Structure 1
Amino acid sequence: MPVASMTGFARFEGDIGDTAFVWELRSVNGKGLELRLRLPQGMESLEVDIRRMAGARLSRGNVQINLALRRTDDAPVFTVNEAMLSQVLELSDRLITGGHAVAPTADGILGVKGIIDVAETLVDPVHQRERREAVLEGFAVALSRLCAMREEEGAILRGLLDERLEEVAALAAAAERDPARTLEAIRRRLSDQVALLLEASPRLDEQRLHQEAAILAAKADIREELDRLSAHVVAARELLAAGGPVGRRLDFLSQEFNRESNTLCAKSNASSLTAVGLELKVVVDQFREQVQNVE
């Protein structure tokens, strides 16, 4: 499976008999899969099937699913509430006879709430089942379009992530080659520091100072950090090559990258290594930011 983004949009328009329908699907980043449905009255029973279908295709993301229905048949049929109309006319006659009102107009009577209503069109079970199936088929098409768009975005994301991994590998190699990491450079720098301390305070134990310097040199070694950075680069490339919902694991690796870059900066014993470490932190932050979009 290809790497997919969590952002996308899809739309599908269809019709069945006297009903036109429109599906709109919008997807953005999310820690898990969250489906928010807006279904018209009478179509609530679709929710179970929609959640099942979406769950089979999507792993992460906040997805807004909207369905709109519109009747395409002739103008609606109006019905008159005869009993209510008779009561209104009788009351009107009494008020007119008593001199409390003037004769009402037709539009005034018909404007009374409840006198006129729109007749409900009954849908036979066969047509209702066919409409349900057609609407679900339309959702399947819209869902496929959404997945296709997320995969297109994912292909772009993968290219960006590959570039960041190349930069991480290049910076790790630069740190590996830095002259400040050579044994001779470390020995010379520590020897100079010990000599300065002895010159400032002759009472200091020279042997103890050399022991402490050796411990500091061991703590300043970034060999393990460079090895872990290389291992994380390999693991990230394997995840991207495998594809599918790898966003969570890539996010974990981005945290590991960040940890190693911080440690490298903390252990740095030369400005050149510090510069590499700071640049590494910038690249890792860019990697992590882009990973947040991966499913």
Structure 2
Amino acid sequence: MLRSMTAFASAEADTGHGTLAIELRSVNHRYLEFGLRLPEELRSLEAVVRERVAARLSRGKVDLGMRFKAAVADASAIKVDEALVTRLADTAQSLAARFPQLNVDFTSLLGWPGVLLDRDTDQEFLRDAALKLLDDALDDMVATRAREGERLGGFMRERLDGMERIVADVRTFLPEIRAALRARFDAKLAELKMPLEPGRIEQEVVLQVQRIDVDEELDRLTAHIAEARRIFGLKEAVGRRLDFLMQEFNREANTLGSKSADSRTTNAAVELKVLIEQMREQVQNLE
């Protein structure tokens, strides 16, 4: 399956206790690299969140941020974490001598993470809601990656078609190149003043033809094109497979150029390398 590694997804939900929001961003990366930011109320979910992301995405640098904004509640629904307040007070008192100007107002104290506790917040319910929201965001991201991957796939299929046309063109004028090589060889022999054995002449012609023979390279290119099209239809992430295949494409194009005995095969090798490089750049975006 062709899926891009570049995507963005977001989701938001009202839980009754407050608003949960999540954002997912991913860009190209050789492996799966995951950055995570969770609100204090959901820190315990870190391992589960990482597992769920890894189960859906195999490559890319992924950043996930989740926010929770508690609903405004009346005084009877709120309590203070007395133990935490005591620790904060002890810390402030121990630092008072070193920082005479230290001043903590009541509002700032209540804003310290964990000081205010919502009695009615069901932590299990909140965690379930967060994981449901995560699944929704992941669904969106996977769908976005698939759409972008299909767009890249169309681009790469056009390049494969172009390579196939070039290979077919080279096959059509190879006999002409071989005939021209034989004619040049015969012309040079005619300039010689000494007689040569006919068998030796034929042997030399065969050697010269073998040096420029690119049938094997053309066959491999044709096989690689077919393999790329097969890979496009797989139901798994295919970025690494295609990345390796691009190296094989490039190797055959280089050999075709090195064996060239005619400007047409030289130009064909150059055009192939241009198309291969364009494909390689797009393959780098695939999961």
TM-score, length basis structure 2: 0.81
CA distance, structure 2, for counterparts of residue 49 and residue 71 of structure 1 = 22
Contact 1:24 1:142 in 2 (8 A): yes
Residue 291 (structure 1) aligns with: 283
Q: Distance in 2 between matches of 1:284 and 1:112?
A: 65
- Shift of residue 168 of structure 1? 0.7
Cα distance between partner residues in 2 of 1:194 and 1:274: 27
Report the Cα offset of residue 74 of structure 1.
Answer: 4.4
Post-superposition Cα deviations, 1:56-110, rounded to whole Å, max 9, x if no partner, equal 111111111111222231489899x9xx9xxx9xxxxxxxxxxxxxxxxxxxxxx
Residue 280, structure 1, aligned to residue 260, structure 2? no
Could you list the runs of 5+ residues in structure 2 that have no partner in the other structure?
A: 94-100
Residue 205 (structure 1) shift: 9.7
Counterparts in 2 of 1:31 and 1:271: CA distance versus 1, 3 Å: same
Letter in 1 for 2:271: E
Partner of 1:63: 62
Where does residue 36 of structure 1 map in the other structure?
35
CA distance in 2, matches of 1:158, 1:112: 62
Structure 1 residue 206 displacement after superposition: 9.5
The Cα offsets for residues 230-285 of structure 1, whole Å up to 9 and x where unpaired, read as 00001000110224201111111111111111111110101111111111111111
Say what the alpha-carbon RMSD is for the aligned residues.
3.0
Q: Which residue of 2 aligns with 1:255?
A: 247
Q: Distance in 1 between matches of 2:170 and 2:34?
A: 46
1:220 aligns with 2:215: no
Aligned counterparts of 2:119 and 2:2: Cα–Cα separation in 1:
45
Using a 3 Å threshold, how does the CA distance of structure 1 residues 44 and 183 change in structure 2: closer, same or farther?
same
Call closer, same or farther: CA 1:179–1:235 in 2, change over 3 Å: closer
Matched, 1:134 2:129: yes
Q: Gaps (5+ residues) in structure 1?
A: 89-110
Corresponding position: 1:161 with 2:156: yes
Matches within 5 A, 1:114-153: 114=104, 116=106, 117-118=109-110, 120-124=115-119, 127-153=122-148
Superposed counterparts of 1:199-238, under 5 Å: 211-238=203-230
Give the whole-Å Cα distance in 1 for the aligned partners of 2:256 and 2:248. Answer: 12
Residue aligned with 1:122, SS: strand
* Pairing partner for 2:183 from 175, 188, 197: 188
Partners of 2:273 and 2:41 in 1: CA distance: 54
Match of 2:97 in 1: none
Which residue of structure 1 aligns with residue 96 of structure 2? none
Is the contact between residue 10 and residue 25 of structure 1 (CA under 8 Å) also seen in structure 2?
A: yes
In terms of Rg, which structure is larger?
A: 1
- CA distance in 2 between counterparts of 1:52 and 1:138 reads 15
Identity of aligned residues (%): 38
Number of aligned residues: 264
Deviation at 1:209, TM superposition (A): 7.3
Please say if residues 239 and 250 of structure 1, whose CA atoms lie closer than 8 Å, have aligned partners that are also in contact: yes
Classify 1:238/1:176 alpha carbon distance in 2 versus 1 (closer, same or farther; 3 Å). Answer: same
Contact 1:194/1:210 (<8 A) preserved: no
Deviation at 1:7, TM superposition (A): 0.8
So what's the TM-score if we normalise by structure 1? Answer: 0.79
Deviation, 1:175, is 0.7
Q: Which amino acid aligns with 1:54?
A: V
- In structure 1, give the amino acid aligned to 2:58: S
The answer to whether the Cα contact below 8 Å between 2:217 and 2:255 also exists between their aligned partners in 1 is yes
Equivalent residue, structure 2, for 1:95: none
